[in-house]
Amino acid sequence: MKKIAFITGATSGFGRAAAEKFASEGWSLVLSGRRLERLLDIKECLDVPTHIIQLDVRDAAAVKEAVESLPNEFSEITALINNAGLALAPEGAADVDLSDWHTMIDTNCTGLVNVTHALLPKLIEVGAGTTIINVGSIAGQWPYPGSHVYGASKAFVKQFSYNLRCDLQGTGVRVTDLAPGIAETEFTLVRTKGDQTASDNLYKGTTPLSAQDIAEHMFYIADLPEHININRVEVMPTRQAWSPFAIDRD
Residue 156 to residue 167: CA distance in whole angstroms: 16
Task: Phi first, then psi: give them for residue 56, nearest 5 degrees.
Answer: -100, 115
Q: Does 86 bind ligand NDP (CB under 6 A)?
A: yes
Q: Which does 5 bind (CB under 5 to 8 A by kind): ligand 8X3, ligand NDP, none?
A: none
Binding to ligand 8X3 in span 80-139, by CB under 6 A: 137-139
Are the C-beta atoms of 215 and 160 separated by less than 8 Å? no
- Residue closer to ligand 8X3 by CB (options 141, 171) is 141
Out of 150, 162, 203, 220, the active site residue is 150
* Sign of the dihedral through C-alpha 70, 76, 79, 82: positive
Q: Does 13 bind ligand NDP (CB under 6 A)?
A: yes
Q: Does 90 bind ligand NDP (CB under 6 A)?
A: no
Q: Which does 84 bind (CB under 5 to 8 A by kind): ligand 8X3, ligand NDP, none?
A: ligand NDP
Binding to ligand 8X3 in span 172-201, by CB under 6 A: 181-182
Are the C-beta atoms of 141 and 178 separated by less than 8 Å? no
Whether 203 is catalytic is no
Residue 176 to residue 160: CA distance in whole angstroms: 10
- Residue closer to ligand 8X3 by CB (options 123, 138) is 138
Total residues interacting with ligand NDP, rule: CB under 6 A: 31
Query: Residue 185: CA atoms inside 13 Å, Cβ hemisphere, count?
Result: 29
Distance of alpha carbon 38 from the chain centroid: 17
Nearest to 43 by CA among 25, 34, 31, 55: 31
Task: Report in angstroms the alpha-carbon separations of 174 from 103, 127, 165, 169.
Answer: 28, 9, 7, 9
Q: Does 151 bind ligand NDP (CB under 6 A)?
A: no
- Residue closer to ligand NDP by CB (options 54, 75) is 54
Q: Does 9 bind ligand NDP (CB under 6 A)?
A: yes
**Rule CB under 6 A: which residues touch ligand NDP?**
8-15, 33-35, 55-58, 83-87, 107, 111, 135, 137, 180, 182-183, 185-187, 190
Q: Catalytic amino acids? A: 150
